[in-house]
Amino acid sequence: MRIVRFERQGATGYGRLEGETVVPLRDRPWEGVATADEAVPLEAVRLLAPCEPSKIVAVGRNYRAHAAELGNEVPASPIIFLKPPTAVIGPDDAIVYPAASKNVHHEAELAVVIGRRCRHVRPNDVPSYVWGYTCGNDVTARDLQRLDEQWTRSKSFDTFCPLGPWIDTELDPADVSVICRVNGLVRQSGRTRDMVFGVSALVAFISEVMTLEPGDVILTGTPEGVGPLARGDVVEVEIEGVGVLRNRVV
């Protein structure tokens, strides 16, 4: 099943994607998928980021080749950091290039969306707490990341967390491609099987630290090939089996 969040005639809600139509849902989708209303054509709605996270937990250096391209060692345990929910934008929304940076990078990532509140989850139990998967772009001001002693500023500008276009609830995340294109040219092309820590290990590790809530997002790290964006670029993140997340840089 594919879940969207959408805006139509000034109202927002969740829906189930069925072909080229959206079936509005009565409840928040992790509470059930009972239908609220008649299906509407996909082109009659504006898709929003498919969830409303209370936090976004991101993982650094989770692909060996990416750690190496930035001159870093592969960590012995996951390196996690937070992005604020105010950074989230949806499909086709604009990434705003901040005046404070001269080197903004794309980072295509598989995004895990949590479906049930959890804490201290065992790796084997993780699938029952995952709602589904979407595409994420961990947009990063690389110059500020190098300048600061930690990553908050470089990762947290408004619009630096595009998510979407929808949540696929049936994806097996073990081995799917993670691709980034800029203006149609492939910049990153990796596979999730090359993650240092897989989805279950990451959710278990993070849930030892903090309670995860429905709609929370875990960005699982980016494969090699990160690089600069420029104003006017169109950046796409494609996760095999999910879809394509497209944003313009302004």
One residue of 24, 87, 101, 107 binding Zn ion per CB under 5 A: 107
Residue nearest to Zn ion (CB): 138
CA distance 232 to 249: 5
Count CB-CB contacts under 10 A for residue 170: 9
Four-point Cα dihedral 160, 220, 173, 77, nearest 10: 180
Query: With CB under 5 A, what is the number of residues at the site for Zn ion?
Result: 3
Shortest Cβ distance from residue 229 to Zn ion (Å)?
A: 14
168 in contact with Zn ion (CB under 5 A) = no
Residue 236 contacts Zn ion per CB under 5 A: no
Distance CA 115, CA 31 (A): 9
Under the binding rule (CB under 5 A), the answer on residue 138 touching Zn ion is yes
Contact pattern from residue 24 through residue 63 relative to Zn ion, giving x for each residue in contact according to CB under 5 A and a dash for the rest = ----------------------------------------
222 binding Zn ion? (CB under 5 A): yes
Separation in Å, CA 104 to CA 128, 131, 230, 250: 36, 30, 8, 12
Report the site for Zn ion in 179-218 (rule: CB under 5 A): none
Select 6 or 97, whichever has its Cβ closest to Zn ion.
Answer: 97
Residue 69, burial from CB neighbour count under 10 angstroms (0-12, 13-18, 19+): middle
Instruction: Return residues touching Zn ion (CB under 5 A).
Output: 107, 138, 222
